[in-house]
Amino acid sequence: MPDLQRALPSSPAALLGAARALQPRTVAFRRALHRQPELGLRLPHTRDLLIAELADLPLTLHRGRDLTSVVAVLDGARRGRTTLLRADMDALPVQEGAGVAFASEVPGRMHACGHDLHVAMLAGAARLLCERREEISGRVVLMFQPGEEGFHGARHMIDEGLLARHGPGGRPDAAFALHVSATMPTGELHLRPGPIMAAADVLRVTVTGRGGHASAPHHAVDPVPAAAAMVGALQTMITRKVDAHDPTVLTVSRITAGTTDNVIPETAELEGTLRTMAEPVRRAVCREIERVCTHTALAHDCTAQVAIEPGYPVTVNDPAATARLADTGRRLLGDTRVHTMPTPIMGAEDFAYVLQKVPGALAFLGACPPGTAPHEAAPNHSARVRFDESAMPAGVALYAALAMG
């Protein structure tokens, strides 16, 4: 085992240099994860790969009870504050089409959002921190989380005691997460105080009429025109009922009705997503959705059953923590590579659950593939997305510096 207690300089340049020296190992680990993606809250192979990667480090490991989470704790040489660092681990149900040599070996699954990079970067940071334990004041809690892609994994970990005073690492004083983006220049850090990502809710509407023969619609009650009218009415509602200064997106992304050409169906179904940046707006729009769908259905002599499934809350960065993250980024990467985002993005992130309870911040780390302009790159969640692995040393060093700062 290497001498992990040896004190090493922890200047920004030294940390970044150490992260670059670690890059072959970081890349190899990332690619091993990429080849075997797993979905949801139970990622046994991913967890086992992670535990093997951390096995030679002086960390205290805690496994989740009902999900395959891993919490790794490192106590510094001196007392101080506790910093939590998060990496999500799950993949997406996407058939990979990126054409990389280390492509997914599991049909219909792909690390299309870069979570494999997140895990590899945080594991690399763990190694740097263990080598510098004598320089650390306080405790570092490494949160390796399954189920970010719609499964509320962070909330499940919190329910299992992650942030409790008597939890695996005690109650953190600050929490940070990085998320790679294929559409931002490699090695750039993008962040903002306050809301940075949206709340996301799922809309499901079942419109019920009365089925019949397609040649005699006057003897039936057709739910299809009612459903079509709802789509337009919902978009009109957003433009008429929501202040233009409150970012709000309502997308009906699926309409299903009928089984054949000559039958008017009994029902039509709509599904969509609602994205908002403020809780009062979120509540008001949900009320309006129910009102619009109910009355539009009645106008077509149909009924509507409206269900809105609460999703992730707004991701809100603490101003002081954001300033700390930005300052750390400038010291590591340079002033020109840290950017304040003018507006939030409408994607959602379940690190929001952590930030509801602990002051902290999430930032985006650019990983646009070489030779591609950011605006032309395949985005996160695309089957064709590719991430520039040369961004990973910046992520490794950022994580480590945040824990030591």
What residues form the annotated binding site for Mn(2+)? Answer: 113, 115, 149, 179, 381
Q: Answer for the pair 231, 381: CB distance below 8 angstroms, yes or no.
A: no
Angle, helices 12-21/392-404, rounded to nearest 10 degrees: 140
Distances, alpha carbon 326 to alpha carbons 190, 196, 255, 335, 393, in Å: 9, 14, 43, 9, 17
Provide φ and ψ at 340, rounded to 5°: -85, 120
Q: Residue type for 322, please? A: T
Specify binding-site residues.
113, 115, 149, 179, 381
Structure tokens at 10: 């922890």
User: Of 83, 88, 96, 92, whose CA–CA distance to 68 is shortest?
Assistant: 88
Q: Answer for the pair 94, 103: CB distance below 8 angstroms, yes or no.
A: no
Q: What residues pair up with 268 in beta bridges, in sequence order?
A: 207, 257
Q: Answer for the pair 77, 135: CB distance below 8 angstroms, yes or no.
A: yes
DSSP 3-state of 346 = coil
Task: Quickly tell me which residue has 């990496």 as its tokens.
Answer: 87
Active site residue 353: no
Q: Answer for the pair 254, 280: CB distance below 8 angstroms, yes or no.
A: no
C-alpha 238 chain-centroid distance: 26
Distance CA 100, CA 384 (A): 10
> Catalytic: which of 53, 312, 349, 399?
312
Sheet with 60-63, strands from edge to edge, namely: 60-63, 70-75, 137-145, 78-88, 174-181, 360-366, 189-191, 338-340
Q: Answer for the pair 179, 362: CB distance below 8 angstroms, yes or no.
A: yes
Q: Answer for the pair 387, 369: CB distance below 8 angstroms, yes or no.
A: yes
CB count within 10 Å of CB 5 equals 12
The enclosing H or E element of 355 equals: helix 352-355
Distance CA 215, CA 34 (A): 53
Provide φ and ψ at 22, rounded to 5°: -85, -5
User: Of 251, 254, 226, 225, whose CA–CA distance to 238 is shortest?
Assistant: 251
> Do you know the residue count of the chain?
405
> Catalytic: which of 188, 349, 389, 399?
389
Active site residues: 312, 389
